[in-house]
Each structure stands twice: as C-alpha cells, then as structure tokens.
Amino acid sequence: MSFWTAVVVIFAIAAVTWLRAQKLRGEKPGFRLDGHGEREHELEAEVEKLRKRIAVLERIATDERREKDLAREIESLRD
C-alpha cells in the first residue's frame, strides 16, 4: 500500500466516523430537527412581544401631532 492510498483510506474512515457521530447526535432525546422544541417556542413568543413593542415605538415616533410639536420645540430653541 502506498503512502497516498493510506492517506485516502484514513480520510475515508475519519469522514465516515464523523458522519455517524453527526447522525447519532441528531437522534438524542430532546433534540429536534423540525425546530419545534420548547426553547424555540419561548424564542418565538419573545420575538412576537418585541414586534409588538416595535410597532408601538414606531407609532409614537411617527405620530403627526408629536412630530409637529417636536418641530415647534426645536424651532423655539433656535431662537
């Protein structure tokens, strides 16, 4: 067996071992590939709360009345 044949065989063994380890790691209890674990539900709920908060902040920032008041205040400070 030549040196390069040995290198290829060792690489193939390492690749197969790594692939099997990845497969076994995916089969652990509590590990889900479909993305619907308990932690994912918590994160989805938190994202939804943050979206609602951002909507409120956007509404406050773009309220026309407040925008006009803010513009008047800035102009009064310039004088």
Q: For 10-36, write each residue's pLDDT tens digit.
A: 999 999 999 999 888 876 665 555 556
Mean pLDDT within 73-78: 80
Ramachandran category for residue 55: left, alpha or beta (phi over 0 → left; psi -120 to 50 → alpha) = alpha
Buried b (16+ CB within 10 A) or exposed e, 13-38: eeeeeeeeeeeeeeeeeeeeeeeeee
Q: What is the pLDDT of residue 46?
A: 95
pTM of the model: 0.39
- Residue 66 contacts residue 60 (beta carbons within 8 Å): yes
> What pLDDT, in 10s, does the model give residues 66-75?
667 777 877 8
Q: 23 is written with which tokens?
A: 């497969």
Indicate the residue type of 51.
Answer: R
